[in-house]
Structure 1
Amino acid sequence: MPGRPPLRQLWIPLALGLVAALGLPPFGLWIATPLALAILIHRAARRDGVFLPMLAAGFGWFALSMSWIVEPFLVEPEIHGWMAPFALVLMALGGALFWAVPAALAARLTVPGPRRAIAIAAALLLSDWLRGWIFTGLPWALIGHAWIDTPLAQTAAWTGALGLGAITLTLAALPALIRPLPAVVLAVALTGGLWSVGLARLSQPLPPDSPARLRIVQPNAQQDLKWDPQWAAVFFQRLLDLSAEPGPRDVVIWPETAVNFLLEDADPVLPAMAQAAGAPLVLGIQRRDGSRFYNSLVTLNPDATIGAVYDKFHLVPFGEYVPWGDALARIGIGAFAAQQGNGYSAGPGPVVMQVPGLPDFQPLICYEAIFPQHLRGLDQRPAWLLQATNDAWFGKFSGPYQHLAQARLRAIESGLPLIRAANTGISAVIDPHGRIRQSLPLGVAGKIDAALPAPLPQTPWMRWGNAPVVLLAALMLGLAITRRRPDRNLLA
């Protein structure tokens, strides 16, 4: 077919996708992302047959950035290990379609040249936004995530993570729009200007910390041992011992599904848990309500009574629930990660929780923290965010570091401190600038005693959300496709 590149030529965009992914954690080579995407967009803007090259590039991006997807299947390799390579290939191929389809449509609606570059960049940005919503959403490995370890990430307080992607794609499109030297000068100036804005924001003093003292407990319960009855007793005792260590605390926080029993079966051990905590205890635990099971965050009062309860509402498809689960349960098909029933039921939605003696907070259980939209629309603004998570599912290479990076972005976007309690790590205290004050690394049992950072005033992103970035990308796409006459380099 005319315009379709030979398959042997797809190794170049595949390599560019792999290089671009080096900007994401744990590598953090942020400059690799705009440089690799610049070459990719420059090539795509000057030729037909965009679909396959962009599919190859997207495959490289998602294969490396989402390589942790194999880890859940290796928890019990004798049962699920054979599925790991299929999961990686299908995940990378599915993600690649979010690059190839919009880029091909943008190319089909434009002629080769600068406007095609603009259209492809805008289409990729809109695709990143759409990926946070469609099929329940998976805004993981967004293009803008490459900036999290740089001062430029502070611009997310105005633009959100999607705006960081807009900056990246703007830099990447420049070489296709103007001559090389002006493109480099303009890219350096834009990056340097936004970097300076970030440094200025980071230099501003934060409000004094809240007087509340937190204790975050990380039991390091390995996923392959966590539900074994003998080891579960060991991990439970570890939670109690770490909680009871001397030191002031106004709340003790345990991670997601911290214990191997249901809330309804916990009465015999609730007094021991309350005594060890010596303060209100917030813990992840599964609970049952009739025939339904929930992945929950529960407050245990010092008198061993149950306080506020939050049920996770944004569940992991096929991990925590299966679409049409009630029907499929009849033939024995259930969710991969759920330990009770055939899958969890969803809670009602985002809430603000109250714990006596503490500022109010918004709970986020694991996966929920990757969705920035869940921070907006609450009736009242919380003073902090709490993420209880079990990153043991993600292995030790890239997944936990990427998950932590996204939690840091939530702090920047919202202007709220984020407290992270992780089962095997990385537990952390994150200030409203997204900086990690204290942390416990992967694979370590321990605790963090820390003051609760105070919030900043509401950020512009919390007021506007992604609407300005989405509208700007749609406008640029519309302007690019309305003119079909061939055009030259804009500064040629």
Structure 2
Amino acid sequence: MTRALFLEAPATSRGPLPWLLALGAGLAQAASLAWPGPGSLAGQPLWWLQILSLALLGRVLLGAGSARRAALLGWLFATSWLVGTFWWLFISMHTYGGLAAPLAALAVLALALFLASYYAAVSALFWRVAPNCRAQAAMIFAALWLLAELARGQWWTGFPWGAGGYAHADGPLAVLARSVGVYGMGFVAAALAMGLARWRLADLRRWRWWAGLALLLLAWAGLAWQRHCAVEGCGAPAEEHKSLSVTLLQGNIPQDEKFQPGSGVPLALHWYYEQVRFTDAALVVAPETAIPLLPQQLVPGYLEEIAERFSSGRQALLLGIPLGNLEQGYTNSVLGFAPGQQPPYRYDKHHLVPFGEFIPPFFRWFTEMMNIPLGDFNRGAVGQPSLPWAGERIAPNICYEDLFGEELGARFRDPASAPTIMANMSNIGWFGDTVAIDQHLAISRLRALEFERPMLRATNTGATAVIDHRARVTHRLPAFQRKALNAQVQGRGGAVTPYAWWVSRWGLAPLWALGLGLAAWAWLRRRRH
């Protein structure tokens, strides 16, 4: 039957143009997360490109002509977006994992195709149920897109790298982070994109369009002022802490040598030992698996000397190291040494990387084709306590755990024990000198926006940086240099953000309810008509 919604849409094209547009829009979506080109924009998120690329998909879907065609166009868009976002997984599997190049490329494509199926499904559903009203259609598209993003971020342990909201770490939608988080930002961006997709020049002559624009601007101004008052205090002193001196260590141990006993292992043991011995910072942070051996494999006295070094005085250390044994299993962990901290503080990584840190059911044959050391870890608990030190509560997270704000948020349920500083300890040397470094920096910046807490990043190869509670990068080391970053960080306490409040209690359930509720309303409305 004829759909009134699409009367204003472009006529369905029988040629290759819609497919080329969907492909190009998906690649533009990937580029919006961290611009891969040269120049001053290199590595920066581009919020406007994210909205424009999604709007282009919206135009293509409006002219799809059938639900099946809409699904295929959405699938093509999402596949090109995801391959363009995490193509660097090829490096980890082929260059460092030893998997044959064709198989590594096929594995990246297969992962993208699987995750893109969520977006294919919602593209088809949007074509079927979207109402004629432009505002309602924009909300329905946003709700369905939100459901696809949530499914990608949570199902099958979740792989949300490259979610659209990360393009808005800068830009006007950043004010939403403290209230609705990265997925809520993606919801608003999708609504704006569909509104743009259906925009016509004739709309400028309609008072309703101008009234809607005025309401949007007023809402944005109100949120911006609210965030300004929360962050700056608006005359009332915010609960800012004294500056804390920090040293963030970047060992730059080549990934193909990192676990080699004749090269990377002695280099790491010597360099990190020398750094922690002579620094005078109040807090020293070394990256994930900075010590690439289990404690029982170390030279006797090595770890004990480090513990003794930080058992008195005014300094503390967070050190990435694997722990465990064959009988009890292994963990990717952080040990914290500080005066009066007995036994040492311990944090065990909870959200493990599939195929890198745990083996999914029925896929052991795949991991056995690669050479990845310690590839099957045990999980730590959600909401582990912070390290109390120098009047701060320092909450570590390991590598891509900082993609899961809903899990980090579990620590914020009680404001009295909520983190005042977050610390991400990573090794993404697995992915080479690629845009993955800048993408991960943007992810950490988004967490700083959501929780309004500074984020320290200590990494093996980059990006080692200090991010303040406004998500500004105040200090950063060049990637792929063996250096120590000396800086100051100012912790934040007091009331938690609205996002931290609700996500610590209900996780992402409110966003699931929003998406499912709007989708159900659209489906029932279509059935009645």
Normalising by structure 1, what TM-score? 0.87
Measure, in 2, the Cα distance between the counterparts of 1:120 and 1:201. 27
Q: Is the CA contact 1:20–1:36 (under 8 Å) kept in the aligned structure 2?
A: yes
Q: Judging changes above 3 Å, is the alpha-carbon distance between structure 1 residues 408 and 157 closer, same or farther for their aligned structure 2 residues? A: same
* Residue 75 (structure 1) aligned to one of 82, 90, 95: 95
The yes-or-no answer on 1:139 pairing with 2:160 is yes
Cα distance, 1:458 vs. partner? 0.5
The yes-or-no answer on 1:213 pairing with 2:242 is no
Matches within 5 A, 1:423-462: 423-456=460-493, 457-462=495-500
Q: Judging changes above 3 Å, is the alpha-carbon distance between structure 1 residues 180 and 471 closer, same or farther for their aligned structure 2 residues? A: farther
**1:173 equivalent in structure 2:** 194
- Alignment deviations for residues 135-180 of structure 1 (CA, whole Å, 9 cap, x no partner): 0111211111111132531320011001110121111111455544
Q: Judging changes above 3 Å, is the alpha-carbon distance between structure 1 residues 269 and 431 closer, same or farther for their aligned structure 2 residues? A: same
Q: Judging changes above 3 Å, is the alpha-carbon distance between structure 1 residues 486 and 4 closer, same or farther for their aligned structure 2 residues? A: farther
Bigger shift: residues 365-374 or 438-447: 438-447
Matches within 5 A, 1:87-166: 87-110=107-130, 114=134, 118-166=139-187
Q: Judging changes above 3 Å, is the alpha-carbon distance between structure 1 residues 348 and 77 closer, same or farther for their aligned structure 2 residues? A: closer
Q: Judging changes above 3 Å, is the alpha-carbon distance between structure 1 residues 78 and 294 closer, same or farther for their aligned structure 2 residues? A: closer
Bigger shift: residues 218-227 or 283-292: 283-292
Q: Judging changes above 3 Å, is the alpha-carbon distance between structure 1 residues 127 and 18 closer, same or farther for their aligned structure 2 residues? A: same
**1:29 equivalent in structure 2:** 46
Task: Report the AA paired with residue 98 of structure 1.
Answer: Y
Structure 2: where are the runs of 5+ without partners?
1-11, 35-42, 233-237
Q: Is the CA contact 1:68–1:394 (under 8 Å) kept in the aligned structure 2?
A: yes
* Residue 366 (structure 1) aligned to one of 399, 413, 416: 399
Structure 1: where are the runs of 5+ without partners?
488-492
**2:379 equivalent in structure 1:** 346
Task: Report the AA paired with residue 339 of structure 1.
Answer: P
Cα distance, 1:336 vs. partner? 5.6
**1:40 equivalent in structure 2:** 57
**1:300 equivalent in structure 2:** 337
Measure, in 2, the Cα distance between the counterparts of 1:138 and 1:257. 22
Measure, in 2, the Cα distance between the counterparts of 1:105 and 1:254. 47
- Alignment deviations for residues 35-90 of structure 1 (CA, whole Å, 9 cap, x no partner): 12112213313432211111111112112112222120243375544433112211
- Alignment deviations for residues 230-260 of structure 1 (CA, whole Å, 9 cap, x no partner): 23212322222333445x3222111000012
**1:232 equivalent in structure 2:** 265
* Residue 194 (structure 1) aligned to one of 197, 207, 220: 220
Q: Judging changes above 3 Å, is the alpha-carbon distance between structure 1 residues 86 and 418 closer, same or farther for their aligned structure 2 residues? A: same
**1:387 equivalent in structure 2:** 424
Aligned residues: 481
Measure, in 1, the Cα distance between the counterparts of 2:215 and 2:431. 38
- Alignment deviations for residues 258-290 of structure 1 (CA, whole Å, 9 cap, x no partner): 012102334421244346767332111111143
Bigger shift: residues 55-64 or 176-185: 176-185
**2:501 equivalent in structure 1:** 463
Cα distance, 1:344 vs. partner? 1.0
Describe the SS at the equivalent of 2:423: strand
Describe the SS at the equivalent of 1:346: coil
Q: Is the CA contact 1:107–1:120 (under 8 Å) kept in the aligned structure 2?
A: no
Measure, in 2, the Cα distance between the counterparts of 1:431 and 1:411. 7
Bigger shift: residues 457-466 or 348-357: 348-357
Measure, in 2, the Cα distance between the counterparts of 1:27 and 1:450. 23
**2:516 equivalent in structure 1:** 474
Measure, in 1, the Cα distance between the counterparts of 2:432 and 2:252. 13
Cα distance, 1:116 vs. partner? 5.4
* Residue 249 (structure 1) aligned to one of 275, 281, 286: 281
Q: Is the CA contact 1:154–1:433 (under 8 Å) kept in the aligned structure 2?
A: no
Q: Is the CA contact 2:130–2:141 (under 8 Å) kept in the aligned structure 1?
A: no
Q: Is the CA contact 2:450–2:500 (under 8 Å) kept in the aligned structure 1?
A: yes
Measure, in 2, the Cα distance between the counterparts of 1:56 and 1:77. 28
Task: Report the AA paired with residue 138 of structure 1.
Answer: F
Bigger shift: residues 150-159 or 76-85: 76-85
Q: Judging changes above 3 Å, is the alpha-carbon distance between structure 1 residues 337 and 200 closer, same or farther for their aligned structure 2 residues? A: farther
Task: Report the AA paired with residue 459 of structure 1.
Answer: T
**1:265 equivalent in structure 2:** 297
Cα distance, 1:303 vs. partner? 9.6
Q: Judging changes above 3 Å, is the alpha-carbon distance between structure 1 residues 356 and 54 closer, same or farther for their aligned structure 2 residues? A: closer
Task: Report the AA paired with residue 188 of structure 2.
Answer: I
Measure, in 1, the Cα distance between the counterparts of 2:323 and 2:164. 37
Q: Is the CA contact 1:240–1:276 (under 8 Å) kept in the aligned structure 2?
A: no
Task: Report the AA paired with residue 172 of structure 1.
Answer: A
Cα distance, 1:394 vs. partner? 2.5
Measure, in 1, the Cα distance between the counterparts of 2:371 and 2:143. 36
**1:315 equivalent in structure 2:** 352
The yes-or-no answer on 1:282 pairing with 2:299 is no
Measure, in 2, the Cα distance between the counterparts of 1:408 and 1:293. 30
The yes-or-no answer on 1:376 pairing with 2:416 is no
Measure, in 2, the Cα distance between the counterparts of 1:188 and 1:339. 56
Q: Is the CA contact 2:97–2:370 (under 8 Å) kept in the aligned structure 1?
A: no
**2:40 equivalent in structure 1:** none
Q: Is the CA contact 1:320–1:335 (under 8 Å) kept in the aligned structure 2?
A: no
Measure, in 2, the Cα distance between the counterparts of 1:343 and 1:249. 35
The percentage of aligned residue pairs carrying the same residue is: 27
* Residue 450 (structure 2) aligned to one of 409, 413, 429: 413
- Alignment deviations for residues 204-244 of structure 1 (CA, whole Å, 9 cap, x no partner): 53654435332211111121111122232123222223334
